[in-house]
A and B are shown apart, each in its own frame.
Chain A
Amino acid sequence: NAGVTQTPKFQVLKTGQSMTLQCAQDMNHEYMSWYRQDPGMGLRLIHYSVGAGITDQGEVPNGYNVSRSTTEDFPLRLLSAAPSQTSVYFCASTRDRYSYEQYFGPGTRLTVT
């Protein structure tokens, strides 16, 4: 049982490039979320999904796209990277929609130059 996995661990992009951050969980959780963590800002919700085929926006969705074709995978796409997207990105999954106790991945550190 690997829990929540994220790839890559580190990534450097140039402004305007696109890329996909991968997230997968093997716990059969319906709920999955993407957060970004910036110094002094805490964690901010980007997008979330309540099940395969269903996604919704969080607090800071602009510049990001998500899809959920399977229960296991929830990739985050950066459409045209900007320096403001330099951050640490965390994926999380939730077993229980009522308690919302979250299991986090190890994070992806992204730098946009």
Chain B
Amino acid sequence: SQQGEEDPQALSIQEGENATMNCSYKTSINNLQWYRQNSGRGLVHLILIRSNEREKHSGRLRVTLDTSKKSSSLLITASRAADTASYFCAPLPTSYGKLTFGQGTILTVHP
């Protein structure tokens, strides 16, 4: 499968702490995207990092990409209860051209 694999499967933290989620993938990619899914809702695009980028920031989100290790991480700083959701990484393979999704990390932020 060409999809990303998120780790850990579940993460439970207190409000104000940082949350780090990791993603590994198998093939060469054009870009890697992170999405959030609140319970019972559709996925929402958070951030995209291109294969020639190593780090990207968006508000409280920081994404890193290591193409040599075929891995990415998503850091949410100063987490809030509203960040409670499932987070998915989605690598866009160069050869296949369609986005694939992993099983996600379930993040629970306790107030």
**CA of A92 to CA of B45 in the docked complex: distance in angstroms?**
11
Is B100 within 8 A of A90, CB to CB?
no
In contact, A99 and B31 (Cβ under 8 angstroms): yes
Contact at A42–B30, with CB atoms within 8 Å?
Answer: no
Number of interface residues of B (CB under 8 A): 23
A45 on the B face (CB < 8 A) = yes
Dominant SS among interface residues on chain A: strand
Which of B30, B43, B92, B97 is in CB contact (< 8 Å) with A90? B43
Judge whether A102 is part of the interface by a CB distance below 8 angstroms. Answer: yes
**Which B residues are in CB contact (< 8 Å) with A105?**
42
B3 contact set on A, CB distance < 8 A: 42
Nearest A-chain residue to B3, judged by Cβ: A42
